[in-house]
Amino acid sequence: MKDEISEIVNVENLVYKKTPLMTDNILSYCPGCGHGTAHRITMEVLEELGIGEKTIGVAPVGCSVLAYEFMNIDMQQAAHGRAPAVATGIKRTWPHKIVFTYQGDGDLAAIGTAETIHACNRGENFVIIFVNNGIYGMTGGQMAPTTLPGMKSSTSPYGRDVHIMGNPLKMTELIAELPGTRFVTRQAVHTPGNVRKAKRAIKKAFENQMNFKEGINFVEIVSNCNSGWKMTPVHSNEWMVENMFPFFPLGDIKVDGELVNK
């Protein structure tokens, strides 16, 4: 048995290994959640670009508040919504370092709206990874700025009535209009194909930061929240494809500072 295992882990048989930029800590995310994949591909990109030692990440408040437990790089944890301001403070004073924020939709598109829009509009040179699952997951499934019309949550138990609760906010389309953004894209991580596309987008975002002096590189990842949505992981992904993607369509919105014509 031992020989068999050692044969399997022979170097020539290895097709995949965990990036050393992920720690061995057990993820705090619900089984089936997209955060773990989004963490991993972000860290794989840093490893592949060889920039892990010069990268400083900023964790938000929300489900990924503990991102620093899993990302094996120097990290700061920001107050709710303030990550783009914190990242501005780092990047402005350490311009040769690589800086990114990792934020959820409540953090980025509600309480942090001002910080997000103004960091984007100033053309700060860092990466924003925006995981949008249409709900406040950490606090137990309340309505988010991205909750779809009619979608149920603990604070919209009969479904989001846009006449009372307002409309969901398409932050990614909004910031794409600003002159300070360089690369704006919306991706997903629910299938292997989408994971590869999302990773390519994240890589482009970090490469842009390395190659240019200014311009926000913004990668939205539409994700599921099976526990908050009260669905099985598989069902939540199907529901996401059927309901989230029509409202939050995948694809590049702005490339090299130019809006993509659709």
Partner 1 sequence: MGELKLMKGNEAIAEAAIRAGVDAYFGYPITPQSEVIEYLMVEKPYETTGMVVLQAESEIAAINMVYGAAASGKKAMTSSSSPGISLKQEGISYMAGAELPCLIANVVRGGPGLGTIQPSQADYFQATKGGGHGDYHMIVLAPASVQEMADFVSKGFDLAFKYRTPVMILSDGLIGQMMEKVILSEHTPRWTDEEIIKLSPWATTGKPASRERNIITSLDLDPYRQEEHNIHLQKKYKEIREKEVEYEEIMCEDAEYLFVAYGSSSRIAQKAIKLGREKGIKAGLLRPITLYPFPSEAIRRLSQQVKGILSLEMSAGQMIEDIRLSVDCEMKVEHFGRMGGVIHSPAEALQALEEKIIGG
Interface residue list for partner 1 (CB under 8 A)? 52-56, 58-59, 65-66, 68, 71-79, 82, 85-90, 92-94, 97, 114-115, 118
Is the Cβ–Cβ distance between 97 and 75 less than 8 Å?
Answer: no
Choice between 117 and 241, CB closer to partner 1: 117
As measured in angstroms, the least distance from the Cβ of 209 to partner 1 is 14
Quickly tell me which residue has 């240019």 as its tokens.
212
As measured in angstroms, the least distance from the Cβ of 45 to partner 1 is 16
As measured in angstroms, the least distance from the Cβ of 76 to partner 1 is 4
Q: Which two tokens stand for residue 88?
A: 């501005």
Say which residues have a Cβ less than 8 Å from residue 107's Cβ, sequence separation at least 6. 60, 61, 62, 80, 81, 83
Choice between 87 and 222, CB closer to partner 1: 87
As measured in angstroms, the least distance from the Cβ of 251 to partner 1 is 29
Choice between 20 and 166, CB closer to partner 1: 20
Choice between 95 and 251, CB closer to partner 1: 95
As measured in angstroms, the least distance from the Cβ of 232 to partner 1 is 27
Choice between 59 and 219, CB closer to partner 1: 59
